[in-house]
């Protein structure tokens, strides 16, 4: 990681805020604490972020874009629709387990921004592009964005909420498999034999 001063003020602010928000939540760290830790002037801070919600939205968009990039990279490696659906569930819960503090941010309120809207637009376009051929040969049901997302990751997402809140001990691999099975059963079009 480069020294703090080697990066631009905006990047340093986001980096410090991301670390602090993941460890302490978005309420506890003050904007001035983040500014001082990032070694950024008051003028530079307000040039980039007029307030803490704007900084939090930038952190949220960055974390979401990284999550989405990892999800798409994993999805493109899957040879069949079934592997893609099951691996999507596993990837989601593995990411949450590996990034607990950042997962708390993503599982909380959606912090809208132009960067987030662009990341989401690119992500859902790529998901539709992956989905389309699997639907065309009869492996997957037609994609209906809100419904498809809920059936694919909804139960895993709720499990993740309980896990990050500390209401569940370890992330149970049997439970992850159960969610992957349920997602595949809900999203497969019919019993087709897929060729790898």
β-bridge partners, 134? none
Cα–Cα distance, 104 to 127 (Å, whole number): 24
Give tens-digit pLDDT for 113-166: 999 999 999 999 999 999 999 999 999 999 998 899 999 999 999 999 999 988
**Coil, strand or helix at 188:** strand
Which pLDDT does position 4 carry in this prediction? 44
C-beta of residue 64 within 8 angstroms of C-beta of residue 106: yes
C-beta of residue 9 within 8 angstroms of C-beta of residue 42: no
Task: Show the domains of the chain with their CATH numbers.
Answer: 1-50 (1.10.10), 56-187 (1.10.357.10)
Cα–Cα distance, 116 to 29 (Å, whole number): 23
Give tens-digit pLDDT for 53-95: 999 999 999 999 999 999 999 999 999 999 999 999 999 999 9
**Coil, strand or helix at 187:** helix
Tokens of 41: 């002037």
* CA end-to-end distance (rounded Å), the chain: 40
C-beta of residue 39 within 8 angstroms of C-beta of residue 4: yes
Cα–Cα distance, 101 to 85 (Å, whole number): 25
Give tens-digit pLDDT for 169-195: 777 788 899 999 999 999 999 754 444
């Amino acid at each position: 990681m480069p020294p703090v001063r080697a990066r631009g003020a905006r990047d340093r602010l986001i980096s410090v805020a991301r670390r602090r928000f993941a460890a302490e939540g978005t309420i506890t760290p003050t904007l001035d604490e983040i500014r001082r830790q990032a070694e950024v002037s008051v003028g530079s801070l307000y040039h980039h972020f007029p307030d803490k919600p704007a900084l939090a939205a930038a952190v949220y968009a960055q974390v979401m874009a990284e999550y989405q990039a990892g999800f798409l990279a994993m999805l493109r490696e899957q040879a069949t629709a079934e592997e893609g659906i099951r691996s999507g569930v596993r990837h989601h819960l593995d990411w949450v387990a590996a990034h607990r503090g950042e997962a708390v941010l993503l599982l909380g309120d959606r912090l809208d921004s132009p960067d987030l809207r662009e990341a989401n637009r690119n992500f859902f376009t790529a998901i539709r592009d992956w989905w389309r051929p699997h639907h065309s040969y009869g492996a997957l049901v037609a994609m209906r964005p809100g419904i498809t997302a809920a059936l694919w990751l909804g139960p895993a997402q709720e499990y993740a909420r309980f896990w990050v809140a500390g209401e569940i001990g370890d992330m149970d691999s049997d439970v992850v498999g159960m969610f992957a099975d349920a997602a595949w059963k809900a999203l497969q079009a019919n019993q087709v034999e897929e060729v790898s």
